[in-house]
Structure 1
Amino acid sequence: MSEVVTYSREGNVGVITVNYPPVNALSHAVRSGLIAALEQGQEDSEAKVLLLVCEGRTFIAGADIREFGKPMQKPGLAELVETYENSEKPLVAAIHGTALGGGLEMALGCHYRVALNSAKIGLPEVKLGLLPGAGGTQRLPRLTGAQKALEIITSGEFVGAKDALALGILDVVDDGEDVKAAGLAYAQQIADEGKPVRRVRDLKDKIASDKGSDVFDQFRAVLQKKARGQFSPFKCVDAIEAAFNLPFAEGMKRERELFTECMDSPQRAGQIHSFFAEREVSKVKGLSKDTPVRDVNSVGIIGAGTMGGGIAMNFANVGIPVIIVEMKQEALDKGLGIIRKNYENSAKKGRLTQQQVEDRIALITGSLSYDDFKSVDLVIEAVFENMAVKKEIFAKLDAICKPGTILASNTSTLDIDEIGSATRRPEDVVGMHFFSPANVMKLLENVRGSKTSDEVKATVMAVAKKIKKVGVLVGNCHGFVGNRMLHRRGAEAMTLVNEGATPQQVDKVLTDLGYPMGQFAMSDLAGIDVGYRIREERRNAGEQVAPSWMDKLAEQNRLGQKTMAGVYKYEEGSRNPVPDAEVERIIEGFRKEQDISSREITDQEILERCMYVMVNEAAKILEEGIADRALDIDVVWIYGYGFPAYRGGPMFWADQVGLDVILAAVEKYHADVGGEQWKPADLLKQLVADGKKFGDL
């Protein structure tokens, strides 16, 4: 008998217990132990019903990530699930915590399922570029019907216990906290009532009702927009459809074929890299696990605009009270009103109850005085990008805030050290760069200054986790990691348009790569005035910043979506960018002013110049220690800028393209186009010379 799986009996219920911390993952030892325990339960003449339950904080939470990429030793997961489903005695799965992936597939192989009210279930394989490969696509639709199975499997999102009960995935939900007690009670009920073995594979009602419907074609049409460019979601649909068109055994065979196709797809490698990179990024180089973390039980925010309001919502969402300070009552009232509207919209969509709306709003207090920050643990400044204004604010905070308060700036580009120089406590000053909309975007780019203390670094990384963000700690330079690379791409995109491309051609190349929107549509979303202010700030600082036709748009109050016109025009109630002949005239006029001759530009040149310039800049970022690892850059771009996770991030993508290919192109553009941006990074040259990749660093 395996040490991680044991068999015992309580009355006439045989209990199979998994105890494999931390998440009872389906390792080879667990799989073997489950087979042995089931055999013991079958042979136990006193056991009328068998119960599968887990110790610790969760039910089986999926595959063992330590076995990823390795051939699966027998018994395989599909074989294990089938063996449990074939049990001659009724089998009950008792679920607490999460039953995910193979864990849920195991539960579906059991004949009955009970769960604590706090439990969640799901099949998240699609997020790794895969599909459920142990019968999940064949069994789940037999319980839920086609539509819900399609939604659950192609999204990979979790389903709460009450919803899972309503969908027919669970048989009972228990409001208690003792999963074993809940499982034993339900198993005893099954024994007392003499309920028979009920195999999910034999259920036919939901299959019969949806067979021959057009639900699959309709769902594929929806996916064309939601999962554009992705491979595995469409394979999930194919597998689920097989459950309705083929006998169970043939459906299982089809699922395995489609699973293999996903395994062989380069997208699977990209998504698995993204999966591990997100977990690895929290381990900060040079920062001990024992570094003290300060308590953050109250937060002050300066600025009630779009960004400040969104930041406030992050903290209120996790129960942390927030004080927002504005200069004028009108601006404060407007900002608080938008926060309420955002929460009310979530309630209308069923994501929050009205009581939750009121509870969160009650945690957000408005003020016109910095004096109300005297006792907060963290202050985040979220005003526009102007160094003089920020330094004035931080000098005030230094005088008002208690010792130990972390003073953070939401700046997207400016020097954290210079901001900190306005205080007597630069060790407490740090960048916390949220991405817009701040209450939605997952990335939090934490920026360390040269004097930022390890304690503050550790605290802001812990805060990121607390407010459910993906935190990445980066170094201090203009634009940090994300915007420094973005500025290179943006400048190259502008130059391409100057030379003859159209904004929509550039944007299409980027969206075809998998970005949710292109460079110019993104500028419209963020606001053309944002980039304009940054350029003006740099000009005021004495930098040579080239003139731009985008400046002309800002000067004409074409600020993007918020004014219904920017690079594109927008119709009332729509965010879809529409090419605008007026912008074409502005661009053509700019070309004449600058004496630029227009030429034909290929999509391949756009791809190379927009993407390779980013890779070259990223190599310089790594050289300078602004980012510690290539994966940090990948995570910043996946969660902050919409780089497709299935491509693994820009550094992983570059490794797949081939660094020798990219270096050759960079050298060519350095010769043809010139400029510091095309000077090949020493690190890029070294990696190519050594036959290595960014992933080898």
Structure 2
Amino acid sequence: MTASLARHGRVAVITLDNPPVNGLGLETRRALAAQVHAAEADPQIAAMVIAGAGRVFSGGADIKEFGSPKAVAEPNLLSLILLVERATKPVVAAIHGTCMGGGLELSLGCHYRVAAPGASIALPEVKIGLVPGAGGTQRLPRALGVETALNMIVSGEPVRSEQLAQVPGQRLIDRLIEGELIAGAVAFAEEIADVRPLPRVRDLKAAHPEADAYFQFARNTARAMARHFPAPVKCVDCVEKSVKASFDEGMRFEREAFLGLMWTPECKALRHAFFAERAASKIADVPEDTPLRPVDRVAVIGAGTMGGGIAMNFLNAGIPVVMLEMKQEALERGVATIRRNYEAQVRKGKLKQDKYEQRMALLSTTLSYADIGDADMAIEAVFEDMAVKQAVFEQLDAVMKPGAILATNTSTLDVNRIASFTRRSQDVIGTHFFSPANVMKLLEVVRGAETARDVLATVMALGRKIRKTCVVSGVCDGFIGNRMIEQYSRQAGFLLEEGCTPTQVDRAIEKFGFAMGPFRMGDLAGNDIGWYIRKRRYLEKPDLRYSRTADLLCEMGRFGQKTGAGWHDYQAGKRDAIPSPVVEQMIADHRAALGITPRRISDEEIVHRLVYSLVNEAARLLEEGIAAKASDIDMVYLTGYGFPLHRGGPMCYADTQGLFNVVEDMKRFARNPHDDAAFWQPAPLLARLVAEGKTFNPA
């Protein structure tokens, strides 16, 4: 039974018990309705308390049921809330832990609400492309005030119960319970058991003194801040109805908006991302109950930009870090950079001074490997060169205690070879952080051929602790993200040779929704990094063709923002990309030397060549077992490479376009004499999915 009833004198305590978040799926809705009916029918019961088992009240509707018959099967959430609201005996919601989405909407249908301090309260539906669909946009403005409610609904962000209890005139929280919540809720229910009439949130009035101007301002703001997503503007429209229409009219409008958004590509993409993030943590051959190794102290080798950023992740999580460098000056620079980063957060009000001091107190430094031997994990963040990595791992093998995890932050190099430099290859793993490491969400966890399962499970859990989205990759050159981006970059180069300018390519893909085009991205990361990798490719893969434009750019010393000039020009102190006549002339000269007559290339062709190059290479990664799931690849690109969230990732986007259509486009690209026809042969997995009428991501 997912909802149980216990009598406390005249009060029935009905407890939701559907781990982990007491989701309001069909079974739980039926059980809760049955217990409400039982309490209503019992003459010994004068009032009811609805509470949640475990650490939460309710995380809301079961998103897995969305779009399925279970979502609308009776009692659906609307019917359940109406049942509670129409109860003849007072119903008190006892809120603790998390009260979100349908859980908050259920509580708003109750006659009273009490809450424990620290409870996290939200209507987060906008984050999956929806408006609240069970009265949230109509009841919350009545209970909390229009502006506070609209801010919560449009942002989807949680607010603490004690903050909401202080909102002037609020009727959301009738009492904060400082002690034991159930005892306090029962006592409150006893107090109000005989009060009549029963208060209903729907009977309150939602008002705003300047409604027309306020809602127009809110609509314009939502449109500007979330231009690719329809849900935030619809949230404004729904809350406006709470002020300008009757409650029942507002409910009808909200429901139509909810159902209309459910099938939009943006909502499907956001729901896909929601599930993909959770699926990424599941590894087929690593049970969830795999014992973890303790990681109470971390050593970071290298105090540069990457090493300092990695260290900050652990300091933020309260884990002591010892940072090692070869020279004192390098250590001092690294520590100074960490201080500056934290001090900037303090100035902006994002970090309290005492927290900053606590984090810095967890950081120590050394020039000697002998001082890091007792750390539970060592992460190297040194220059991307195999000989340098070898020297580091031989030292780590010599000094680290048995059972310590040895991690490499390499972005392209062979983790198996790095592991071979030790006598403990089972303890070696790749942890590919993305720069800036203290900001970027993605962590590619690279599983070596001999990496122990408990090492993999430990690093995945540790990644979550430092608030990273972790995706497992097998070993190959570039792993998931960088192996795919190489093909994307090759296509960008071919587009220049055929007639595009860097500005045109960047603008086309940014209009599609990427945070940054390939040439602006290169200027930000440093064009010399790609040059270094290409030089290695020319020796290892002499048959792989690249546009020479990128090499010519680097030979001109145009490495990007750090030199003030790359594919674009930059003014001192600014990051605006200015079209460069020098670069455009270099491209034109190179094009002429190749005997290519430039042609007009549409934005659609630019986008599809760039995105489908990612898709085809990703299909090869899946075929080879480097990536376990298509959704893992989507998470890599959503969290690490600026792929537009409203598209759901490259594999999700390909599914929405239809894989048959993707392959047809690839056939056209293969006929282009200036492109790479061999590359555009569909990967075996992609060809098989088209033949079988399937998709990368099953529905």
Q: TM-score, normalised by structure 2?
A: 0.92
Choose which of 18, 21, 27 in structure 1 pairs with 2:19: 21
Other-structure match for 1:427: 426
Q: How does 1:644-663 map to 2 (within 5 A)?
A: 644-663=644-663
Does the 8 Å contact 1:210/1:244 carry over to 2? Answer: no
Other-structure match for 1:60: 58
Other-structure match for 1:633: 633
* Residue 131 (str. 1) matches residue 134 (str. 2): no
- Residues 136/678 of structure 1: CA separation in 2 closer, same or farther (3 Å cut): same
Does the 8 Å contact 2:228/2:646 carry over to 1? Answer: no
- Residues 486/52 of structure 1: CA separation in 2 closer, same or farther (3 Å cut): same
Give 1:269 deviation, angstroms. 2.3
Between the aligned partners of 1:161 and 1:347, the Cα distance in structure 2 is 25
Other-structure match for 2:173: 170
Letter in 2 for 1:85: E
Between the aligned partners of 2:204 and 2:330, the Cα distance in structure 1 is 59
- Give CA-to-partner distance per residue, 1:143-170, whole Å, 9 cap, x none: 3444433332233222222333234443
Other-structure match for 1:280: 279
Give 1:616 deviation, angstroms. 1.0
Between the aligned partners of 1:272 and 1:121, the Cα distance in structure 2 is 21
Between the aligned partners of 1:53 and 1:222, the Cα distance in structure 2 is 37
Other-structure match for 1:385: 384
* Residue 201 (str. 1) matches residue 199 (str. 2): no
Between the aligned partners of 1:397 and 1:677, the Cα distance in structure 2 is 40
Q: How does 1:297-316 map to 2 (within 5 A)?
A: 297-316=296-315
- Give CA-to-partner distance per residue, 1:624-669, whole Å, 9 cap, x none: 1111221221221122223233333211221221222222222232
Letter in 2 for 1:396: Q
Does the 8 Å contact 1:62/1:100 carry over to 2? Answer: yes
- Residues 123/576 of structure 1: CA separation in 2 closer, same or farther (3 Å cut): farther
- Structure 1: segments with no counterpart, 5+ residues: none
Other-structure match for 1:413: 412
Letter in 2 for 1:26: L
- Give CA-to-partner distance per residue, 1:401-429, whole Å, 9 cap, x none: 12222111111111112222222222222
Letter in 1 for 2:687: K
Q: TM-score, normalised by structure 1?
A: 0.92
Other-structure match for 1:38: 36
Letter in 1 for 2:177: D
Does the 8 Å contact 1:538/1:545 carry over to 2? Answer: no
Residues 248-257 or 296-305, more deviating: 296-305
Residues 323-332 or 597-606, more deviating: 323-332
Give 1:243 deviation, angstroms. 1.8
Other-structure match for 1:73: 73
Other-structure match for 1:689: 691
Give 1:274 deviation, angstroms. 1.8
- Residues 383/151 of structure 1: CA separation in 2 closer, same or farther (3 Å cut): farther
Between the aligned partners of 1:345 and 1:217, the Cα distance in structure 2 is 35
Give 1:445 deviation, angstroms. 0.7
Does the 8 Å contact 2:323/2:365 carry over to 1? Answer: yes
Give 1:542 deviation, angstroms. 7.5
Between the aligned partners of 2:395 and 2:668, the Cα distance in structure 1 is 51
Give 1:676 deviation, angstroms. 4.0
Residues 99-108 or 87-96, more deviating: 87-96
- Give CA-to-partner distance per residue, 1:664-696, whole Å, 9 cap, x none: 222232232235422321222222222222235
Give 1:492 deviation, angstroms. 0.5
SS in 2 for 1:686: helix
Letter in 2 for 1:651: M
* Residue 612 (str. 1) matches residue 612 (str. 2): yes
Other-structure match for 1:340: 339
Q: How does 1:204-215 map to 2 (within 5 A)?
A: 204=205, 207-214=207-214
Residues 497-506 or 529-538, more deviating: 529-538
Letter in 2 for 1:68: F
Residues 358-367 or 61-70, more deviating: 61-70
Give 1:300 deviation, angstroms. 0.8
Letter in 2 for 1:125: E
- Residues 49/152 of structure 1: CA separation in 2 closer, same or farther (3 Å cut): same
Does the 8 Å contact 1:385/1:534 carry over to 2? Answer: no
SS in 1 for 2:579: coil
Residues 509-518 or 470-479, more deviating: 509-518
Does the 8 Å contact 1:146/1:210 carry over to 2? Answer: no
SS in 2 for 1:444: strand
Percent identity over the alignment is 48
Other-structure match for 2:183: 181
Letter in 2 for 1:683: L
- Residues 241/628 of structure 1: CA separation in 2 closer, same or farther (3 Å cut): same
SS in 2 for 1:473: strand
Other-structure match for 2:3: 5
Count matched residues. Answer: 691
- Give CA-to-partner distance per residue, 1:465-511, whole Å, 9 cap, x none: 22222211111111111111111111111221232112232222222
Does the 8 Å contact 1:115/1:161 carry over to 2? Answer: yes
Q: How does 1:492-641 map to 2 (within 5 A)?
A: 492-539=491-538, 543=542, 546=546, 548-554=548-554, 558-570=558-570, 575-592=575-592, 594-641=594-641
Give 1:574 deviation, angstroms. 5.1
Give 1:590 deviation, angstroms. 4.0
Residues 464-473 or 560-569, more deviating: 560-569
SS in 1 for 2:36: helix
- Residues 39/689 of structure 1: CA separation in 2 closer, same or farther (3 Å cut): closer
Other-structure match for 1:115: 115
Other-structure match for 2:237: 238
Other-structure match for 1:105: 105
Does the 8 Å contact 2:89/2:193 carry over to 1? Answer: no
* Residue 487 (str. 1) matches residue 493 (str. 2): no
- Structure 2: segments with no counterpart, 5+ residues: none
Letter in 1 for 2:690: V
- Residues 570/132 of structure 1: CA separation in 2 closer, same or farther (3 Å cut): farther
Does the 8 Å contact 2:497/2:547 carry over to 1? Answer: no
- Residues 391/635 of structure 1: CA separation in 2 closer, same or farther (3 Å cut): same
- Give CA-to-partner distance per residue, 1:170-205, whole Å, 9 cap, x none: 3433344x321232243345459x58633222332x
Letter in 2 for 1:172: R
Give 1:26 deviation, angstroms. 0.9
Give 1:294 deviation, angstroms. 1.5
Does the 8 Å contact 2:146/2:208 carry over to 1? Answer: no
Give 1:534 deviation, angstroms. 2.5
